[in-house]
Amino acid sequence: MERVIVLGSVFLPGFVMDPLVLALRRRGSTAECVAPPFDGSVNAIAEGYASAARRLRATTLIAHSNAGNFVPAVVAGSAVNRVVFLDAALPPLRGGTWPLVPERLGETLLSRAKGGFLPPWTRWWPEADVRSLFPDDATYERVVARAPSVPTSYLSARISAPQNWLADLTCSYVAFGDTYADAASVAADAGWPVRTLPLGHLGMLQDPDTVADAVCGIWRISHGVAPPLRPHG
């Protein structure tokens, strides 16, 4: 049985990953979602993710969005040997140091910050564009009410990974449209299995069963096993 840890972005409440977790459980995995503790410290986020992976004895890691940056820190010292980047940031494959937030986006967000905190993720773009990412108004309103206020210090934060962080991992990439097209392209050039679904950035809310099927299928392909057709409900 797969022991799966699902990492949500620091910019979103952890429950946005619940539909995917439930869909993975219906397919036979022992899946748990981890929302990072946030006190303004990047080290605290990395350790929160990593300690959860060790506690759950996770063998497979799924990272969504900004959480992709923390994959090297999470896999170090854990039992994880397989990673699926889910419409996520991709750390440099040869390691090094990089910013957690792209510079241009960081500048835009900093100009909108108030009192040392960034606006909630749901306010980064026009409301109509953000609402279209959600399956219904109730889910949208729930996320709006619970989206965390992240300190502006996160915009200048950097994180590092050793050169060989990929050495013992089997990786794949599932993209939702073209939000992270560059990352998906890097993954494909590296020879990883890559699949693109016609969903928005919160595809796991819009169609969790399709996302779960894609995730399960792509990690079997990465091990050279054809994904079987399995009933679920």
In whole numbers, what is the pLDDT of the chain averaged over residues? 88
Tokens of 19: 């539909």
Segment 146-167 shows an average pLDDT of: 91
Q: Which CATH number fits domain 3-222: 3.40.50.300, 3.40.50.720, 3.40.50.1820, 3.90.1150.10?
A: 3.40.50.1820
In tens, the pLDDT along 215-231 reads: 998 866 555 543 333 33
* pLDDT number for residue 43: 86
Residue 27 CB coordination number (10 Å): 17
Q: How confident is the model at residue 65 (pLDDT cuts 50, 70, 90)?
A: very high
> Rounded CA gap, 223 and 66, in Å?
26
The answer to whether the CB of 42 falls within 8 A of the CB of 230 is no
- Phi-psi group of 115: left, alpha or beta (phi > 0 → left; psi -120 to 50 → alpha; rest → beta): left
From residue 107, alpha-carbon distances to 12, 75, 83, 111 in Å are: 20, 30, 30, 6
Residue 86 CB coordination number (10 Å): 28
* pLDDT number for residue 212: 95
| 201: amino acid identity, one letter | H
| 211: amino acid identity, one letter | V
* pLDDT number for residue 179: 87
* pLDDT number for residue 231: 31
Q: How confident is the model at residue 178 (pLDDT cuts 50, 70, 90)?
A: confident
In tens, the pLDDT along 195-218 reads: 999 999 999 999 999 999 999 988
The 3-state secondary structure of the chain, one letter per residue = CCEEEEECCCCCCHHHHHHHHHHHHHCCCEEEEECCCCCCCHHHHHHHHHHHHHHCCCCEEEEEEHHHHHHHHHHCCCCCCEEEEEEECCCCCCCEEEECCCHHHHHHHHHHCECCECCCHHHCCCHHHHHCCCCCHHHHHHHHHHCCCCEHHHHHCEEEECCCCCCCCEEEEEEECCCCHHHHHHHHHCCCCEEEECCCCCHHHHCHHHHHHHHHHHHHHHCCCCCCCCCCC
The answer to whether the CB of 186 falls within 8 A of the CB of 93 is yes
Domain spans of the chain? 3-222
- On the question of pLDDT at 149 being above 80, the answer is yes
Provide φ and ψ at 166, rounded to 5°: -90, 0
Among 65, 43, 49, CA closest to 157: 43
In tens, the pLDDT along 13-26 reads: 989 999 999 999 99
